Chains A and B, each alone.
Chain A
Amino acid sequence: MPIIVRLDVMLARRKMTSRELSARIGISEQNLSLLRSGKVRGVRFNTLEAICRELDCQPGDLLEYDAGPGAGD
């Protein structure tokens, strides 16, 4: 999928662990791990909103479009 999730980068910038973020936004660590690795079909707006609120960032800081050789997968 050409959408790359940059949640790891934002977590490192904010010096926050994924466990802490999952507790703050109210989703399981397992689901957050799936989101970090991009192994999900989609992200709900309310999840995105909660992540952006806790990490003080914009959706564009978390998601990136890369139309590379894998585009259209």
Chain B
Amino acid sequence: MIDARDTLSAARRLERVMLAATFLLVALALIGLAAGIANPLDMARGIAWQGGYDGVALTHGQAWLLIAHVAIHVGVWIALLIVARGLFGQLAAGNPAAAARSARRVARLLWAMLAWGLVSQPIASATATWGLPEGERTLSVAFGTPQISVAFAALMASFMAHAFALGAELWQDHREVI
């Protein structure tokens, strides 16, 4: 018989780690949101500075667009952590079929994160520099190490989801052999 106790206890630990990470990220997001509501221009200038656009003049509309852009990033991360927590929770509960479905959702979220990362850069650069005179406005597209890393992670997660589905079928087969 296969002894899955080590795997199940490791999954339980990872479930707790994911839960803690989710709480931490939600807390940071709420703090960020509160700071954004209190002073959207300062928050947006910080975001623009992070993107390499230092000292740009921003309107309230631009500021909220930049804040929304970051909020979507954080939202995808929170969704990813929640689904990952579900994945490990289902593994810990000995339900590999449900874990395989969660693994597929993790892969889809990573692909969504990559797509949003590629789309958001032109939006953020155009938003941050919209107030500049003609000729100084920027429309940038980024494809570097961070995007390649996310693409690689999404690819690995997709393969892992297939492996999970196969493992779940094998586990079911194993359980039905006495």
Contacts and interface: CB of A to CB of B under 8 A. Distances in A.
Scoring A42, A43, A47 by chain B CB atoms within 10 A of each residue's CB, the highest score goes to A42
Nearest to A27: B178
A interface, over-half SS: mixed
Scoring A40, A41, A43 by chain B CB atoms within 10 A of each residue's CB, the highest score goes to A41
Interface in A25-73: 27, 31-32, 34-35, 40-44, 47
Contacts of A35: 178
B4 interface: no
Nearest to B177: A42
A73 to B, nearest CB: 15
B: interface residue count bin: under 10
Interface string B129-173: 000000000000000000000000000000000000000000001
A32 B178 CA distance: 8
Contacts of B178: 27, 31-32, 34-35, 40, 42-44, 47
Nearest to A39: B176
Contacts of A32: 178
Contacts of B173: 41
A34 to B, nearest CB: 7
A42 B176 CA distance: 7
A6 to B, nearest CB: 15
Contacts of B176: 40-42
Contacts of A34: 178
Interface in A1-39: 27, 31-32, 34-35
Nearest to B176: A41
A66 B173 CA distance: 24
Contacts of B177: 40-44
Which 3 A-B residue pairings sit nearest by Cβ, starting from the closest?
A: A41-B176, A42-B177, A35-B178
Interface of B: 173, 176-178
16 contacts: A27-B178, A31-B178, A32-B178, A35-B178, A40-B176, A40-B178, A41-B173, A41-B176, A41-B177, A42-B176, A42-B177, A42-B178, A43-B177, A43-B178, A44-B177, A44-B178
Given A42-B176, A42-B177, A47-B178, 16 more contacts: A27-B178, A31-B178, A32-B178, A34-B178, A35-B178, A40-B176, A40-B177, A40-B178, A41-B173, A41-B176, A41-B177, A42-B178, A43-B177, A43-B178, A44-B177, A44-B178
